[in-house]
Chains A and B, each alone.
Chain A
């Protein structure tokens, strides 16, 4: 059974710092990995999707990497801003017969202090 773990559960940093969020998964047989952000009381916003054949994806100040063989992904946020405060979730789509669901980690709650 695929399990996804995110460390740390919570992180608080001053504005302007670069930071890394970690995600690990137990089964390397995945189609892709997706990073989301969730603001309090809101749904999920897709940030980046990395296909299993890719090593990284970039969008603005965000860079996500994927090492499928070791079951790890990182989300790098450059020059953090207070507006980046949210919960960040990673999710993988396992390669199972007929399965299209995402398996989520518990998330990292990020606070950027002005």
Chain B
């Protein structure tokens, strides 16, 4: 079946602009995650959605970052007033809750470059 998809694959934006990154999880997966991968920082957790529960936003680095998940499926990560340090690959993952398993499947990522 189809895996996790993300769009766009690449995004170049000017400092100070807002950007939106999109994630389509695997159909039927109830959990959705956003991570950021930057040079020297490795992979960092940003936010987690599970069903209709309040999201876990504990990894968001500043209030310029926000995310929503509509209809329990598609998610959008928004970065306002982008800064150069926001340049990174943003990865989305989804999982199906099976007891404590929560095996995560990742999309190809969106490479964001802030100039």
Binding site for B on A (CB under 8 A): 31-32, 34, 36, 41-46, 49, 51-52, 89, 91, 93, 98-107
Please report the number of residue pairs spanning A and B whose Cβ atoms sit closer than 8 angstroms.
Answer: 60
Q: With A and B bound together, what is the CA distance between A45 and B100 in angstroms?
A: 20
Q: Which of B51-86 contact A (CB under 8 A)?
A: 56, 58-59
Q: A32-B100, A42-B108, A46-B105 are in contact. Are A100 and B33 (CB under 8 A)?
A: yes
Contact between A31 and B100, CB atoms less than 8 A apart: yes
| Shortest CB distance A51–B (Å) | 7
Contact between B102 and A31, CB atoms less than 8 A apart: yes
| Shortest CB distance B96–A (Å) | 12
In the complex, which residues of chain B have a beta carbon less than 8 angstroms from the beta carbon of A52?
100
Number of residues on chain B facing chain A (CB within 8 A): 26
Binding site for A on B (CB under 8 A): 4, 31, 33, 35, 42-43, 45, 48, 50, 56, 58-59, 91, 93, 95, 100-109, 111
Contact between B101 and A101, CB atoms less than 8 A apart: no
Across the interface, A44 reaches (CB within 8 A) one of B42, B95, B106, namely B106
Q: With A and B bound together, what is the CA distance between A102 and B59 in angstroms?
A: 11
Contact between B56 and A101, CB atoms less than 8 A apart: yes
Contact between B31 and A100, CB atoms less than 8 A apart: yes
